[in-house]
Amino acid sequence: MVSMSVILVNAAALGAMTFPHSAAVAEFLHWVDHVCLGFFTFEVLAGLASFGRRPLRFFKDAWNVFDFVIVVASFMPGLRENVTILRMLRLARIVRIFRSLPSLRIILVAAGKALPKSAGVFALTGVVMYLWAMVGWIAFSASDPEHFGTVGKALLNLFQLVAFDDMGNVMRNSMEHNMWTLPYYLVFILFGAFVLVNLLLGVVLASMEEAQRLDDLDEQVSADTALILERIDKLQTTVDKLQADQERGRGFTPFG
């Protein structure tokens, strides 16, 4: 919760830096940014220290590596003096919000899984739009060159329909030149704007469910791993203690 609050404060300070303000306000905003950087640095150091004698385990988590790289880069000479890189590093710190909110993390994973699976839907949409644009050009280019004079213009109209962008005006403007554009548009809307879009939504929802299952599995694996490591540490402590007792027993002589 504290980490989330610091991230939000840092984001607000970065946004405020884009507005014109006095020198005193600018100094205060930079002070806030430095405090946030100090907190993130402390957080990384505390994370490293939490692994005790095995600090390299800290880097097994990709988010830990991300945090470490951002914090270290903020202190490196050359990078720190570069205004553009410094701003990018500040923005990158806000990305940590994905780590603090599991729901955002799941959405990010789902988006990554949905993109490759959506390639087929995008390809099908492109082919359908191109073919239907060619049909529109053949049928209406003579009567309505403004909207169907080229395949590009026809594609633009169809893209507006798929995006539900000013659909009514697009259809009315075309109908003023040719009434047969109405069934042309309706057929495309029923297939392109509903069937194809619903297919894409189905892919996204399936990816969301898969991402949720993976997140639950990761939590279970992390919990099991932490338990195993804790037991290994206890076992190692017991072995060390037994070895120490054995060494003291060897050095003991009953008659001095």
**66-76 pLDDT per residue, tens:** 888 888 887 87
Can you give the residue ranges of every domain in the chain? 2-100, 104-231
Cα 55 from Cα 33, distance rounded (Å): 28
Extract the tokens encoding 29.
């905003």
More confident residue, 60 or 101: 60
pLDDT of residue 110: 74
Question: Residues 84-98: what's their mean pLDDT?
Answer: 72
Count other C-beta atoms under 10 Å from residue 132's C-beta: 21
pLDDT tens digits along 175-188: 888 888 888 888 88
Query: Using DSSP, how many helices (H) and how many strands (E) does the chain show?
Result: 11, 0
* Helices 83-94, 62-75: inter-axial angle, 10-degree rounding: 150
pLDDT of residue 121: 76
DSSP state of 193: I
Q: Which residue has the tokens 């969301």?
A: 208
pLDDT tens digits along 9-40: 888 888 888 888 788 888 898 898 888 888 88
Cα 161 from Cα 166, distance rounded (Å): 8
Do residues 100 and 4 lie in contact, with contact meaning Cβ atoms separated by under 8 Å?
Answer: yes
CA 68, 69, 75, 76 torsion: positive or negative? positive
Q: Which residue has the tokens 């075309």?
A: 174
pLDDT of residue 80: 62
pLDDT of residue 9: 87
* Phi, psi for 152 (deg, rounded to 5): -60, -45
Question: CATH fold of 104-231, please?
Answer: Helix Hairpins (1.10.287)
Cα 105 from Cα 113, distance rounded (Å): 13
pLDDT tens digits along 108-161: 777 777 777 777 777 888 888 898 889 889 988 888 888 888 888 888 888 887
Cα 58 from Cα 68, distance rounded (Å): 10
Question: CATH fold of 2-100, please?
Answer: Four Helix Bundle (Hemerythrin (Met), subunit A) (1.20.120)
Residue 155, C-beta contacts closer than 8 angstroms, at least 6 positions apart? 129, 130, 133
DSSP state of 195: I
Q: What angle do CA 235, 241, 244 make, to 5 degrees?
A: 145
- Answer yes or no: is pLDDT of 252 > 60: no
